Structure 1
Amino acid sequence: MNPASRARRPLSVAAAASALGLLLAGCTSAVSVASAPHAADPACASVVLALPEVLGDLELLDTTSQASAAWGSPEAAVVLRCGVDAPPPTTDRCVTVETPGGPSVDWVTVAGEPDADGATDWTFTTYGREPAVELLVPAAVTAGHSTSFVDQLGPAIALVEPTRSCL
């Protein structure tokens, strides 16, 4: 083997290893998320870029749509969608969540029907901010986790200015 072909060999092995890594990374399944109606709002890009990598002990996952994020496992993911329709004044429970050392965010909270084990799906939608942000927490997550991790979203959500608040 001549010296020139030996010099190229490590590069081709490195290139092949790199291509294999990209191919295997493409095999990880992303969480399928329906795009919100106002996902293209520039404020949503700011929100998504500021989201935490970890929510409680749930790690960030890839998603299939713009202005969305997911944490946990693909089979039971906490899903965030920015750009949902803002809720009008409502009689649903509206709570103010204080972020430690940061902003407070108002959320309309709606519980789903309990499953056979008593765990419940929860939907949190920001109140008084446009575009609104929705957080879906499945029963599979609430069965083993508190939803107190919602406070960790405060700094990202606060990038959308509030125009009204819970009463």
Structure 2
Amino acid sequence: MSVRRPALAALLAVLLTGAGLALAGCAPTVSLEPAADANDPGCAEVSVRLPDAVAGQQKRVTDAQATGAWGSPTAVLLRCGVPPIGATTKPCVSVNGIDWVLMTDPAAKTIVYQTFGRTPATEVIIDHVQGVSDSSVLPEFASAIAVVKQTQKCLSTLDTDLTPTPAPTPSN
């Protein structure tokens, strides 16, 4: 039984077109610098729990330990093992049990959040130009970040006692 040339040519054209489309859909590896403590075992725990999609953006391959990237072009980046921050006056929000400190100007095109009260700390970088919002990104990381024990909570001005302490009275 022989295959006719036109049928074979059509089949080959379909296979080559499909392969071309599949390769065109592959995004190149995202090159990132690992954080200083990327080799912390907590980062390994975070890394294996990172979601396949964030804010509708598919996960991409990165070339650095304890990192993640989503979207093509990249809209969200994650690095675990950044130096933890201490007390700060920067805005802090709690999203699904994870405290995040806003490290950049909220009006910037690229926003950086960092976990608070967890070591190793994790930062998430969100490119607003790509059309993703903070509220669609941060909740996606809750289950991955939650494996790192929280030792401190963010406090807002509502959580602190702002009652002025009376000045001591002079004694005679």
| Runs ≥4 residues deviating over 4 A | none
CA RMSD across the alignment: 2.2
The partner residue of 2:103 within 110, 130, 149 is 110
- Counterpart Cα distance in 2 of 1:153 and 1:28: 22
- Aligned 1:1-150 pairs, distance under 5 A: 28-73=27-72, 75-98=73-96, 104-112=97-105, 114=107, 120-141=109-130, 144-148=131-135, 149-150=137-138
Structure 2: gaps spanning 5 or more residues: 1-18, 156-172
Percent of aligned positions that are identical: 40
Deviations 1:6-28 (A, max 9, x none): xxxxxxxxxxxxxx9xxx69x84
- Counterpart Cα distance in 1 of 2:140 and 2:118: 17
Question: Secondary structure at the residue paired with 1:38?
Answer: coil
Contact 1:76 1:140 (C-alpha < 8 Å) held by counterparts: no
- Counterpart Cα distance in 1 of 2:75 and 2:142: 19
Higher strand share: 1
The alignment's TM-score, normalised by the length of structure 1, stands at 0.73
Q: 1:86 offset after TM fit, Å? A: 0.3
Structure 1: gaps spanning 5 or more residues: 1-19, 99-103
Contact 2:27 2:60 (C-alpha < 8 Å) held by counterparts: no
Deviations 1:123-167 (A, max 9, x none): 0100000000000112323xx222112111001000000000101
- Counterpart Cα distance in 2 of 1:111 and 1:43: 25
The alignment's TM-score, normalised by the length of structure 2, stands at 0.71
Q: 1:111 offset after TM fit, Å? A: 3.3
What is the total number of aligned residue pairs between the two structures? 133
Q: 1:112 offset after TM fit, Å? A: 3.9
